[in-house]
A and B are shown apart, each in its own frame.
Chain A
Amino acid sequence: MAAGRVVVLVFVRTDCPISNRYAPTVQRLSAAHAGKAVFWLVYPSKAESAESIRKHEREFGYKLPALRDPQRVLVKESQVQITPEVAVFDAARRLVYHGRIDNLYEDIGRARSAATTHELEDAIAATLSGRTLSAGTAPAVGCYISDLE
């Protein structure tokens, strides 16, 4: 397998409560995969300024590089529709997974006390070991990106 690191794009929104609730999980997963996977936050809203994004990152303890994607280029490439939703690219920059981080939320307003499946971790692990992902994409639960300006 070609040398290179896995890239994880995490699509977030400043005013989406489910997206925000995942901040500690995202930060923990990025730290756990340091050196193996690079995490980026992506803000698809046209309305967010660099300053408001920095403020959001500070508030929620994110220590990740952030991108604005007002033209939805990354959204399209990643085939995501929701915040929070993640897209995993392998070293060859092929999209290998997009969907939920884990199954904490079954639906809006229906949360488990703790997640029992961990799709993002599984996708990273599979990609790092060169395995093909067996499961299909798991739809993310949260706020529609298409609602954003």
Chain B
Amino acid sequence: MTRASQALSGFIALLALASVGFAARHATSRRQANPQPATAAREVTFNRDVAPIVFHNCALCHHPGEAGPFPLLTYADVKSHARQIAFVTDKRIMPPWLPDPGELKFTDELRLSDEQIATLQAWVDQGMLEGSAADLPAKPTFSAGWQLGKPDVIVRAEKPYVLPASGSDSYWNFVFRNPVNRSHWLKAIEIRPGDKRLVHHANILVDREESGRRLEKEPGAGFGGMELIIESEAFDPDSHFLFWKPGSPPYVEPDGMALRLEKNTDLVLNTHFQPSGKPEPIQPTLGLYFTDKPATLHPILIQLDNDRLLDIPPGEKNFLVSDDFTLPVDATILAIYPHAHYLGKDLLALATFPDGTKKTLIHISHWDLNWQAVYRYEDPPLLPKGTTISMRFTYDNSADNVRNPNQPPKRVVAGNRASDEMAHLWLQVLPSESADSSVDPRREIQEALALHHIQNNPDDFEAHYNLAALLQMRGNLSGALLQFSEAVRIRPEDPIANNALGAVLLASGQVEGAIPHLKTALASRPDYFDAHYNLGNALASKGDFGGALTHFRAAVRLNPQDANAEANLGSALAETGNLKEARLHFERALQIDPKNELARENLEQLNRETQGHPN
């Protein structure tokens, strides 16, 4: 214990003064920087030696309005944190950069060299000399506005989220409803997450199915949660990382690439905050930048994981989770995003080429969730068909891991909460064009991935669903039927899987088999347009036009802009003898889509039938 050698005399009197006037010497730092003999010999000054390092590597975040908690733009700024800087750079806590140096380089690498770190130590050891003004490089300038100029569309979260003053980290999701009212090719998104000092990272998910909205307690309120699962009936036409971390400039897609953003699509911003000590209202803004040039290159995301193996006993210090996926086609890796939670320790991704040689794709030997990032390759490596990508992640579930959210440690399995774990490795790859035009390399990868995930986990709902959708696209209805049935077996109430299974059964003539699945879909989600539409068709095809009417009416109410639903409603009305109303809906269908064949033919038939019999 620490005891003062003498009583503190006149303590109260001293405290009553606003400031205390004695000459005090500087206390010495407990954590003295290690002197570096190599550079200690030479005089190190701020203006000549330190400013270039700080301006280039620190000021990006450490300037007003950015993520750094204090600016590092002047001699006084840097001096007032000098020992801190020497300490955090020596331990490579700052600048935050997780990947170990390796053969493959990443863009925007924020890693100081050993010499730079030694220079900072020597500067502090020598008493933080300012040096000659002539040596000072130009102060970096930053623009406070939109980094890519005025965006084509700016959207702001409807309601702020108030980050509590204290507690552990917060995860919040903001739903940006329908930011565009027609299709656009998106070249870049600038994410302005609010007060950047509070945000550790943010990720945008493209939500075509209003999945995010359904999780909001009230419209625009957003919702909590660390990991998002966005359901999707269609495959992403393109797969892009939409990621923000402190200090990262907005990413502009390279030539030939762009993200297709349709109308009736929401963007969901998933954010990770750390409390600051006071309540902070946070209301992010997104700036969208479009291009007229449609994408000609279509990357795809490959996800390696092995959630079933993630079952870490308490106290385990080195728990390994691995997964291996072999590429069915040639592909270039553009970017990589390894992800684990607080037990993650060492994250490694490897490529083993067909000839057996290996290459490290990324190695993070000191994982820290707080500084997770998407890493883009400076010189993207081409991996030939037959290359195996391997994920090797280790986890520390002992009490020695200070970030362990469970103290004392307990069994941890895969899950979406911060106290659960994840072992995911995402790669953005660009498949090479196939010489055989009948082969779509993206579908080859998607199919191989779905099969891979089913092999890892026969109860993988998404894998069965995705495989079914791929088989359906290929016209393999019996295969699709089998896989959608598996998806429904795994999640018997799932509206999307039930609707899809119903639709395939309907398409293969099995009306009676389809109806119960479509009804289940509607029981789970009463406002499901597709299921109403399909059930209307199923009932109509067995002659139950009264039943069909109910569902087509619901479909039209849910989506008044769907010409087919209007045309089918008209047909059902005509079948039940309500020709007057039927005509209105055929006409409405043709208003929406003048080329709608069904509505045109039916209207013509109606005109023939009612000739001379006006009703």
Tell whether A and B belong to one assembly. yes
Q: With a CB–CB cut-off of 8 A, which chain A residues contact B275?
A: 21
In the bound complex, what is the Cα–Cα distance between A146 and B84 (angstroms)? 10
Given the complex, which residues of A lie within 8 Å of B278, measured CB to CB?
20, 23, 59-61
Taking a contact as CB atoms under 8 Å apart, the answer to whether A147 and B19 are in contact is no
CB-CB < 8 A to A34: which residues of B? none
- List B residues 1-44 near A (Cβ within 8 Å): 1-4, 7-9, 11, 14-15, 17-30
B8, B277, B407: the one within 8 Å of A112 (CB): B407
- Whether A112 and B403, one on each chain, are in contact in the complex, defined by CB atoms closer than 8 angstroms, is yes
Is the pair A93, B8 in contact by a Cβ cutoff of 8 Å? yes
Pair A71/B87 contact, Cβ less than 8 Å: no
Contact of A147 among B11, B79, B342, B404 (CB under 8 A): B79
Knowing A59-B278, A69-B20, A94-B8 touch, does A16 contact B69 (C-beta < 8 A)? yes
Q: Is A67 within 8 A of B29, CB to CB? A: no
B68: nearest residue on chain A (CB-CB)? A17
Output the residue of A24, A61, A81, A97 with the most chain B CB within 10 A. Answer: A24
Chain A contact patch, size range: 35 or more
Nearest residue (CB) in A for B30 is A81
With a cutoff of 8 Å between Cβ atoms, the chain B residues found around residue A20 in the complex are 276-278
Is A74 an interface residue when CB atoms closer than 8 A count as contact? yes
Contact B1 A133 (CB under 8 A): yes
A101 proximal to B (CB < 8 A): no
Known: A24-B277, A67-B15, A76-B24. A15 touches B70 (CB 8 A): yes
Which of B138-146, B164-172, B246-254, B348-356 participates in binding chain A? B164-172
CA distance A99 to B30 in the complex (A): 12
Q: Quick one: closest A residue to B368, CB to CB?
A: A109
Q: List the A residue with the shortest CB-CB distance to B21.
A: A71
Q: Does A10 contact B (CB under 8 A)?
A: no
B26 engages A116 (CB within 8 Å)? no
Inter-chain contact B2/A75, CB cutoff 8 Å: no
Contact with B along A133-145 (1 / 0, CB 8 A): 1111101000111
Contacts of B14 in A (CB 8 A): 73-74
Chain A's closest residue to B96 (CB) is A109
Majority SS at the chain B contact face: loop
Most interface-central of A17, A70, A76, A149 (chain B CB within 10 A)? A17
Which residues of B sit under 8 angstroms from A68, Cβ to Cβ?
Answer: 18-20
Task: Give the residues in chain A near B368, CB-CB below 8 Å.
Answer: 109
CB pair A135 B277 closer than 8 Å = no
Say whether, besides A50-B18, A74-B20, A145 and B7 are in contact (CB < 8 Å): no
> Is B438 an interface residue when CB atoms closer than 8 A count as contact?
no
For A134, list chain B residues within 8 Å (CB): 1
Distance A15 CA – B168 CA, assembled complex (angstroms):
20
CB of A111 closer than 8 Å to a CB of B? yes
Chain A stretch 1-15: residues in CB contact (< 8 A) with chain B: 7, 15
When the two chains form their complex, are residues B277 and A22 in contact, meaning their CB atoms are under 8 A apart?
yes
CA distance A80 to B479 in the complex (A): 71
Give the chain B neighbours of A110 by CB distance below 8 A: 402-403
In the complex, besides A17-B276, A82-B30, 10 extra interface pairs with C-beta distance below 8 angstroms are: A24-B165, A72-B27, A73-B21, A76-B24, A76-B27, A93-B7, A97-B1, A108-B91, A139-B30, A144-B29
The 4 A-B pairs at the shortest CB distance, nearest first, are namely: A95-B4, A72-B24, A24-B166, A23-B277
- 20 A-B residue contacts at CB 8 Å? A7-B15, A23-B277, A24-B166, A50-B18, A60-B165, A61-B278, A67-B19, A71-B19, A71-B22, A73-B20, A75-B27, A109-B94, A109-B368, A111-B402, A113-B403, A113-B418, A145-B27, A147-B79, A147-B84, A149-B76
